Amino acid sequence: MAPAVEICQVSQHAGQEVLIQGWVYNLRTSGKLLFPIFRDGTGLIQGVAVKSAISPEVFERIKSLTQESSVKVTGKVRADQRAPGGFELDVSDLEVIQRVPADQPYPITPKDHGVEFLMDHRHLWLRSTRQRAILGVRHEIIKAVRDFFDGRGFTLVDTPIFTPAACEGTTTLFEVNYFDEKAYLTQSGQLYNEAAAAAVGKTYCFGPTFRAEKSKTRRHLTEFWMVEPEVAFAQLEDVCVLAEEMVALIVERVLANRRGELQTLERDVTKLEKITLPFPRLRYDDAVKYLQEKGGEIQWGGDFGGGDETILSERYEKPVLVTHYPAPVKAFYMAPDPERPELALCVDMLAPEGYGEIIGGGERLSDYNLLLHRIEEASLPKETFEWYLDLRRYGTFPHGGFGMGIERAVAWICGLPHVRETIPFPRMLYRLKP
């Protein structure tokens, strides 16, 4: 029996007989020649079956294959310039695990499909070459993030998904029944990260977050994954440096390890190759001036709209760090600028090519009285924040951190028009299935 080999490894088995286990990607016939293409999750390989070279039963079995039927194929690997992957398989035997019935064929054909149809068949759509490439890049980005923090002495501390209250207001929270009381699905691990930072100094969390925003745009999901580092005694500049170094590493790793995927996605890698340190910095004041010069409607004190972000991010070839926003547009826990208390010591990173905000963070408020005042000002329930206030009662400390939405980062690096393809099973305003 020939050894089982993954398609990505066939180049090491040229001239040998191997067993490929996978699915039928496509089948072309030309009289007494058959060209089935197989995929196994690691790649594609074209098989060749010549009628005169194999048994009539095997020939008929291959000829009657349908798209996405599962098979075990035995054959000899041969280098061939005519084959799409450089190697093809001279099929000698084929076992059908399950033949997809012809009267109920695989719905996703190699032709065009609409968004709704593909989203309804997301569980099958994932098998396509393009979706597999995105999954690969997403994996690489997450691994790079983990390696980045692990390599710098950060401790991963998991934060809860059920929470008793909002981080930033309750209007955008998913409410769930928690026995006899209400709970909410977390929208950020931020507050818990601050507790963890006092325990381990440098921490990060990575997990799903939920926002019940009725946002229907190309950059919104109701469930998305976020990585959030928090560092004791870090100031705004430290946070900015941490953020840009993390993003630079992510891009470097994807370029180093996922060239093939980027090519599949037809990503212009020259744009990614320009993502080198340091990234440009821009204060909110100057950003507003720039936008006004460009004819924008924005007034000082307002937050940027999607169009504003696009204009700002298209000004640079690298991500830009925008700092010192007016405090009212930011979360209650942001530290004020000692020189201009109306400003927050915060930073947003806007990805280039109009991809918008991928990172938000800054220095946290460490003064007990001011934090209490902000909580009351925001009409937040003080009782549920008692534990958070404890962090200021018992050895309060300056600290800062940020959060990066994984899906927006994946969309940017892959060059995708919509975040729905960046996560295996997207949850959106009008999409809960499959």
Partner RNA sequence: UCCUCGGUAGCUCAAUGGUAGAGCAUUCGGCUGUUAACCGAAGGGUUCCAGGUUCGAGUCCUGGCCGAGGAGCCA
Site residues (CB under 7 A) for RNA, limited to 39-58: 46, 48, 50-52
430 forms part of the interface with RNA (CB under 7 A) = yes
Report the residue number, 200 or 249, with the smaller CB distance to RNA: 249
DSSP assigned state of 418: -
Report the residue number, 217 or 384, with the smaller CB distance to RNA: 217
Judged by CB under 7 A, which stretch of 131-139, 241-249, 273-281, 305-313 contacts RNA?
305-313
Q: How far is CA 207 from the centre of its chain?
A: 12
Judged by CB under 7 A, which of 278, 307, 381, 434 binds RNA? 307
Q: What are phi and psi of 133, to 5 degrees?
A: -65, -40
14 forms part of the interface with RNA (CB under 7 A) = no
Judged by CB under 7 A, which stretch of 15-23, 83-91, 274-282, 380-388 contacts RNA?
83-91
Q: Tell me the closest approach of the beta carbon of residue 217 to RNA, in angstroms.
A: 5
Report the residue number, 18 or 83, with the smaller CB distance to RNA: 83
Judged by CB under 7 A, which of 211, 253, 318, 364 binds RNA? 211
CB 261 within 8 A of CB 137: yes
| Other beta carbons within 10 Å of 432 | 11
84 forms part of the interface with RNA (CB under 7 A) = yes
Tokens of 415: 């060059």
| Other beta carbons within 10 Å of 104 | 8
Report the residue number, 136 or 362, with the smaller CB distance to RNA: 362
Using DSSP bridges, classify how beta strands 33-39 and 44-50 pair: parallel, antiparallel or unpaired: antiparallel
Judged by CB under 7 A, which of 39, 61, 138, 219 binds RNA? 219
How many residues touch RNA under the rule CB under 7 A: the total is 73
Report the residue number, 261 or 407, with the smaller CB distance to RNA: 407
Touching RNA, residues 111-140 (CB under 7 A): 111-117, 119
Helical (H) or strand (E) element with 206: strand 202-210
Judged by CB under 7 A, which of 74, 239, 405, 414 binds RNA? 405
In terms of Cα–Cα distance, which of 362, 376, 355 is closest to 419?
A: 355
Place of tokens 């093939």: 260
Judged by CB under 7 A, which of 4, 11, 12, 32 binds RNA? 32
3-state secondary structure 31-71: CCEEEEEEECCCCEEEEEEEHHHCCHHHHHHHHCCCCCCEE
Judged by CB under 7 A, which stretch of 233-241, 288-296, 313-321, 397-405 contacts RNA?
397-405
Q: Tell me the closest approach of the beta carbon of residue 197 to RNA, in angstroms.
A: 18
Cα dist from 221 to 210, 215, 266, 274, whole Å: 8, 8, 24, 29
Q: Tell me the closest approach of the beta carbon of residue 179 to RNA, in angstroms.
A: 28
Tokens of 5: 């080999």
Report the residue number, 75 or 136, with the smaller CB distance to RNA: 75
Helical (H) or strand (E) element with 9: none
Q: Tell me the closest approach of the beta carbon of residue 344 to RNA, in angstroms.
A: 12
Q: Tell me the closest approach of the beta carbon of residue 201 to RNA, in angstroms.
A: 23
DSSP assigned state of 13: G
Using DSSP bridges, classify how beta strands 346-351 and 320-323 pair: parallel, antiparallel or unpaired: antiparallel
Residue type, 174: F
163 forms part of the interface with RNA (CB under 7 A) = no
Judged by CB under 7 A, which of 186, 193, 203, 222 binds RNA? 222
Q: Tell me the closest approach of the beta carbon of residue 288 to RNA, in angstroms.
A: 14
CB 79 within 8 A of CB 16: no
CB 408 within 8 A of CB 419: yes
196 CB-side CA count, 13 A: 21
Judged by CB under 7 A, which stretch of 243-251, 287-295, 317-325, 400-408 contacts RNA?
400-408
Touching RNA, residues 329-388 (CB under 7 A): 329, 331, 356-360
Euclidean distance between CA atoms 260 and 68, whole angstroms: 23
Euclidean distance between CA atoms 294 and 45, whole angstroms: 52
Binding to RNA by CB under 7 A, coded x per residue (else -) over 87-106, reads -x-------------xx-x-
Q: Tell me the closest approach of the beta carbon of residue 356 to RNA, in angstroms.
A: 6
Judged by CB under 7 A, which stretch of 6-14, 217-225, 230-238, 376-384 contacts RNA?
217-225
Q: How far is CA 119 from the centre of its chain?
A: 17
Report the residue number, 200 or 365, with the smaller CB distance to RNA: 365
Contacts of residue 290, defined as CB under 8 A and 6 or more positions apart, other chains included, come to 282, 311, 312, 315
DSSP assigned state of 125: H
Judged by CB under 7 A, which of 12, 28, 256, 273 binds RNA? 28
Touching RNA, residues 226-285 (CB under 7 A): 226
